[in-house]
Amino acid sequence: MNARPGYPVWSRILAAVSLSLGSAAFIPARAQDAITPELLSEMKEACTPDAAFKSVQNSLAQVESSKVAADLQKMNSVDSHFSNKLPDEAVTEQDATGRCWMFSALNIFRRAAAQRLKSEEFEFSQNYLFFYDKLEKSNVFLEAIIRTRKLPSTDRGVEWLMRNTVQDGGNWLGFVELVRKYGVVPKDVMPETFSSSNSQGVDSVLALRLKVAAVRIRAAQNDAEIASLRLQALKDAYRILALNFGIPPTQFKWRYEDKDKKLTPFATYTPQQFYHEVVNDALDDYLALYSIPTLPFYKRYEIDLDKAVEDRPNMNFVNCPLDTLKGLAKACLLDNRPVWFGCAVEQESVRDRGLMMPGIYDYESMYHMDLQLSRKELFETYSSTPDHNMVFTGIDLTDGRPVKWLVENSWGEKPGKKGYFVMTDDWFDRYVQVIVVQRKYIPAPLLSVFGTKPETLPPWDPMMRALGYE
């Protein structure tokens, strides 16, 4: 079954799914499948209130369960030393926003910027890119609404669009496209505002304005009316962002103190010039590698509508075995290159200690039951998806094998050790899903897969969850 011209790829996917389901129906419920009084009695009898049960029950009545289940012996078994690490930098703070992908990506380049500027510390403006990220995503949303305007509002794709107007989240390719188009500026040229650090308010207003436009576009009678509605919505989106974030500079004068505390003379830059002068890394040289056990390896994929700029490609990646990710990350760190990565950050991690370690919460002993899932089962049950991005800045090796990884986060200095986290290697095995590395580290056979045509995944694919999370 072919979709009509101009309809998004996910409409074809839905058609294929409908055909594959055929006339299948759910098996109707049966009386014997209900929780009967006899079954309830059996369950109650199995829940014996012995001394251990009462001890845990009393604790849970007064204390958060994670504190009761915390395995202090495991926590204290991990030291904070690393055999190979990059110099520490002051960590950044994304505050109450989902900009981890942007903060961590800018953190990859700020070391190079500080070296080129001969400065002890340097930080890019996240607010500057945040402005354009929101503006470009507004346009992506409006264009998708225009393409799907003839589909019913109950269509899954249309429903997804209405539920996902302009989120904070993003990915590496989106970052690359934004920097390529708009460049970067120093943080003091466009510093944070309350709204850029606390985005819920501006997100709500922007989403409402875009939904108003969406309803009007879907009811429009001709192309001229649609074009007028889109243009006004983009103008209003710009105004909302300008009021909340400020107006981004197209040119700026800037000076700074170098590492010898000498004040440099003023220099004038455009944001694109500034990127090329202080970083000078080829953005296309960095590629995203995922390890998704529910998808075939050594294949290229893209996610429909997962983009930061409308006229640029969807987010795409090559899927490969986990050992490949680990080997490439190790090679980069031993070459003193930081590594951008994505993971399921809330899984088995202690935020205040900055420790990511399987079994750190011993719920199995507390509840006396099996709570284990394999890496593949975690994906199949939607228990592990990339919801946070950070940067690897160190690795601890024993006999050449990784024991743990040093992680630069973007949650400020309070969590962990001045904002740095420690990840054990077995946590990597379970919860790390993506890394970004330069081409020169990728073996030729794997690199060639990036030249193949990607298979398109729908926008509600689990990997898309990264757009709406920290």
First to last CA, the chain: 38
Kindly give, in sequence order, each residue whose CB lies less than 8 Å from that of residue 13, ignoring residues fewer than 6 positions away. Answer: 456, 458
Please check whether residue 433 is in contact with residue 292, taking contact to mean a CB–CB distance below 8 angstroms. yes
Residue 320 is among the residues annotated as catalytic for this protein: no
What DSSP assignment string belongs to 94-137? --BSS-HHHHHHHHHHHHHHHHHHT-S---B-HHHHHHHHHHHH
Catalytic option among 100, 320, 332, 343 = 100
Which two structure tokens, joined as six digits, stand for 79? 């030291």
Quickly count: other Cβ atoms within 10 Å of residue 168's Cβ: 24
The CA radius of gyration of the chain, in Å to the nearest whole number, is 25
Kindly give, in sequence order, each residue whose CB lies less than 8 Å from that of residue 72, ignoring residues fewer than 6 positions away. Answer: none
Collapsing DSSP to helix, strand or coil, 252 comes out as strand
Residue 47 is among the residues annotated as catalytic for this protein: no
Interstrand relation of 401-408 and 420-424 (parallel, antiparallel or unpaired): antiparallel
Catalytic option among 314, 320, 388, 389 = 388
Quickly count: other Cβ atoms within 10 Å of residue 396's Cβ: 21
Residue 276 is among the residues annotated as catalytic for this protein: no
Q: What are the angstrom distances between the C-alpha of 213 and each of 145, 168, 219?
A: 9, 20, 10
Which two structure tokens, joined as six digits, stand for 14? 């839905």
Catalytic option among 164, 171, 389, 409 = 409
Residues designated as active site: 100, 388, 409
